[in-house]
Amino acid sequence: MQQPYQIATAQTEQQTTLAQQSRVLRNTYLLLAISMLPTIAGAMLGVGIAFRFFILNPIISLVAFMAIAFAFMWAIERTKNSVLGVVLLLAFTFFMGMMLSPLLLFTLGLGNGPQLIATAAGGTGVIFFTMASIATVTKKDFSFMGKFLIVGVLVTLVAMVANLFLHIPALYLAISAVCIVLFSMYILYDISRVIHGGETNYITATLAIYLDIYNIFVHLLRLLIALSGRD
């Protein structure tokens, strides 16, 4: 039978753990909101200077983008316990905003371009708040989804690279639809990890959720463009 002091100690430890998890989640949401500012700034700058390199050279651009993005993510992971980690994360989101500019330039060239961008942004927001609410309200641990989601991302990446050469419109649409579902599930997974203590660093958590949101927006916008009847 447990002694009173043992029970009290266990309760104190549990309260401390819950408080820490709550603090990580709160800091994650705050940094996530802040990270949208350099993303918008990067996108506006890219649109302003008509940054079209990634449209004209898709294969070279993909390789360059992946190299730079992974270098940023590696550096962020190495500095995640310092202020430098926050600085690098914000610099990364600025870079990602710049990478949005070719898609935004193309979309703005359409008659209903601004409406498509606004719809994609609104849809992304709805998906995020829905998945975040499910993870927070249900308190269910969704960590079991990890392996499935990793396999899904790998298969999707292979399909994306293949379609750079195949140029199959139906596959293009299917990839975007799958990515929207896949990264929606990733939001559920990543927030659940924070809530249940699987992720204790708010910088790493912010990076993961930011990439989820970014991918949902990109693929939702591409899907909306395709469904609007514009190639």
Q: Could you tell me the pTM of the whole model?
A: 0.87
Query: Between helices 113-138 and 169-195, what is the axis angle to 10°?
Result: 40
Q: Report pLDDT digits (tens) over 118-156.
A: 999 999 999 999 999 999 888 888 988 988 999 999 999
Residue 196: both structure tokens together: 């249940």
d(CA 202, CA 198): 11
pLDDT category of residue 231 using cuts at 50, 70 and 90: very low
Q: Report pLDDT digits (tens) over 141-200.
A: 898 898 899 999 999 989 988 887 877 888 889 999 999 999 999 999 999 999 888 889
pLDDT category of residue 9 using cuts at 50, 70 and 90: low
pLDDT category of residue 209 using cuts at 50, 70 and 90: very high
State the pLDDT at residue 17: 62
- Cβ proximity of 95 and 87 under 8 Å: no
Q: 197 in helix, strand or coil?
A: coil
